[in-house]
Structure 1
Amino acid sequence: MEIPMKIIDSHHHLWCPDTDPTGIGYVWLQNKGAMKPFGDPTPIQRDYLAEEFKAESQKHELAGSIHVQCDGAIPDPVKEAEWIESLSQTHDIPSAHVGFVDLTSADTPKLLERYMQLPGFRGVRQIISRIDDRPEISFTQVEYLGHMIWREQFALLTAHNLSFDLQLYPQQMPDAAAFFAKHPDIPVVIDHAGSPYDQSKSGHLLWRQGLKELAQLEHCHIKLSGFGMFDPQWTAQSIQAIVNDILELFGAERVMFGSNYPVDKLMRPYDFVVDSVLECCTNAGLNETAIEGVFSGNAERFYRLNHN
């Protein structure tokens, strides 16, 4: 099914480490060549702006997008969000954005108040991906799900009507599901297909069982994104079983497409990403309405793009 799709890209990044006109002060993007869990980031450690992002697709219609924070070490993360907000006013991209907050910080309430002054701000992301015996692929040294202050301050999202973007590993999913079950009023979306880093038979079973627990929470959603982070040579065929399980567990109405650009630009062209996910959705038996939901309507609804 290779037809032009209207896309609201639910997960991408823009950044300006070379020029940094507003003094954001990027950290990992300035640390040229330092390896990341997804590999060597050198080719993307440069300015990646709205004009380049909007030109990535040669065949599909980028009708909107959600910008997701890109660096948890930025001294003042609201500066990144303010810069993103200025871009949306100039380029109509992104349509809304998700900012970083360290929920263990005493500054969390003040940061949230500042974020709420930005009309396009919709939610928070703090990456919690960590495996005790796999430091080389862990994104943090802290197990946030067991951190008392983190757990307490997570509840602050309720008062501001904010969602939470969640990047985690399958081993963390049971604890995450138990915690998020206590906060049904905070919409959660799992980034990057639940990080299927181990695609062996046993790894897939562990991933599926964890996702099954999260999928039982009606306020939990998931993104078909970031496939290149765990398999640089991925194809539609290699992710078909992953997509099938996600659609079975969550239902198409709680699934949304995301490119994870420019990170996944390291691995695959934008239209390859779109076409491959579209092929998988078609092979899984989704009808036209469900596919439109995955590629645009679900993100539009989840991130409240029709109202502030």
Structure 2
Amino acid sequence: MNTKADTFPIIDAHHHLWAPQSDPGQVGYVWLRNLGAMKPFGDPTPIQRDYLIDEFLAEPDPRTLAGSVHVQCDPKLPNPIAETAFIQGISDASGHPIMIVGFADLAAGDFADQLSGHLAHANLRGIRQIIAHLPDRPDISFAATNLLADLTWRGQYALLADHGLSFDLQLYPEQMPEAADFLAQHPDVSVVIDHIGSPHDLSDAGLTRWSSGMRALAHLPHVCVKLSGYAMYFRSELAGKAVRLTQDTLRMFGPDRVMFGSNFPVDSLHLTYPDLLNFVIGQVDDDPSVLEKVMYRNAHRFYRFGGT
């Protein structure tokens, strides 16, 4: 397939690599070894296996990736720094540039030490601690409590700026107004919203809540968003509401604050990689300069692929 998007490189701003079967990096995976345990995105059994660089790089065929961003995959690791070291080793050995978003617990007393360990690895660019929490929906909550209300968590968030680190924000629309108020106090920490704002409720009321919350976040110039995680909320239906929310996101955030992410292998439960690429490319714009920003330049800048 020849499209305008074949004339420039592509960076995947959100994917995972893992090895729960072989675990050569001694990462000590937890949920990936709990076979059949249901997650908010469905039954993960087909992906609870090794998923490494060669398989990942073959996914976009016939297109290729110029770089990618590995995002932490397990908050219960005994030592999250081991995951960062494992991915750094894969990037170094493969020659494929992988920037790393590691896990650290902002509510922990040793958070500063966790950051120090991560920062020993050259490709570390940011931190993700999923804060998605709904008090009446523990079945889809990733966090056990509302971390935005935790004073230790709020206080230590500022340490990210001290080290030039970004924050990957995965939350639900119900949390967005509170998050926007908090993030406005920290304009020196670059933020990217994961998975198009996690629209778990696709009813009219849910979509209204999503739209209001995303607008509040879009008002903050240091907040970006990823067109990622489609299979988590739309399964294989890349039409209708998936189109509407993608177009709304592009309008709210503009061409300079939106980036593509596959969320593979999670999204492989319902979609192929070319499915996702073709959908996002088809939604973005006929203007090649806008496509290049969303598919490459915005992620290159945000995750500092140039190293600065």
TM-score bracket, normalised by the shorter chain, equals over 0.9
Q: What amino acid maps onto 1:73 in structure 2?
A: K
SS of 1:168's partner is coil
AA matched with 1:91 = S
> In the alignment, what sits opposite 1:301?
301
**Aligned equivalent of 1:13:** 16
Is 1:194 the counterpart of 2:197? The answer is yes
* Aligned partners of 2:70 and 2:101 also within 8 Å: yes
When the two chains are superposed, the root-mean-square deviation of aligned CA atoms in Å is 1.2
Q: Is the contact between residue 66 and residue 97 of structure 2 (CA under 8 Å) also seen in structure 1?
A: no
2:178 alignment partner in structure 1: 175
Alignment of 1:1-308 (within 5 A): 3=3, 4-5=5-6, 6-282=9-285, 286-308=286-308
Contact 2:234–2:242 (Cα < 8 Å) also in 1? no
Q: Over residues 249-287 of structure 1, what are the superposed CA-to-partner deviations in whole Å (9 max), with x where a residue is unaligned? A: 1101000000000000111000000001111113xxx51
Q: State the 1:237 CA deviation.
A: 4.2
The TM-score, its normalising length taken from structure 1, stands at 0.97
- Distance in 2 (CA, whole Å) between partners of 1:31 and 1:120 is 29
Deviation at 1:95, TM superposition (A): 2.4
Amino acid at match of 1:60: R
SS of 2:33's partner is coil
For residue 125 of structure 2, give the secondary structure of its aligned residue in structure 1. strand
Residue identity matched to 1:267: H
1:190-244 CA deviation, whole Å, 9 max, x = no partner? 0000001112222111101000000000000000000110121221444111111
Q: Take 2:184 and 2:56, find their aligned partners in 1: how far apart are those partners?
A: 36
Question: What is the rounded CA distance, in whole Å, between the counterparts of 2:283 and 2:224 in structure 1?
Answer: 18
Which residue identity is paired with 1:151? Answer: R
> 1:206, 1:86 → 2: CA distance?
42
Looking at structure 2, the residues matched to 124 and 143 of structure 1 have their Cα atoms a distance apart, in angstroms, of 18
CA contact (8 A) 1:256 1:299 kept: yes
% identical equivalent positions: 49
| Deviation for aligned residue 1:2 | 5.5
> 1:42 Cα shift?
0.3
Write the distance in 2 (CA, Å) between the matches of 1:61 and 1:30: 30
Q: Aligned partners of 1:122, 1:278: CA distance in 2, in Å? A: 26
The structural deviation recorded for 1:94 is 4.4
May I ask how many residue pairs the two structures share in their alignment?
A: 305
For residues 75-125 of structure 1, what are the alpha-carbon distances to aligned partners after superposition, in whole Å with 9 as ceiling and x for unaligned?
100000000000001113342110000101111101111111111000000
| Letter of the structure 2 residue corresponding to residue 233 of structure 1 | S
> Is contact 1:13-1:69 (8 Å) kept?
yes
Report how far residue 7 of structure 1 moved.
Answer: 1.2
AA aligned to 2:289 is T
Measure the CA separation in 1 of the matches of 2:28 and 2:119. Answer: 22
**SS of match in other structure, 2:130:** coil
Relative distance call for 1:2 and 1:210 in structure 2 (3 A) is farther
Q: Which runs of 5+ in 2 are unaligned?
A: none
TM-score norm. by structure 2 comes to 0.97
- The runs of at least 4 consecutive aligned structure 1 residues that moved more than 4 Å come to none
What secondary structure, in the 3-state scheme, does the structure 1 residue paired with 2:167 have? strand
d(CA) in 1 for partners of 2:52 and 2:65? 15
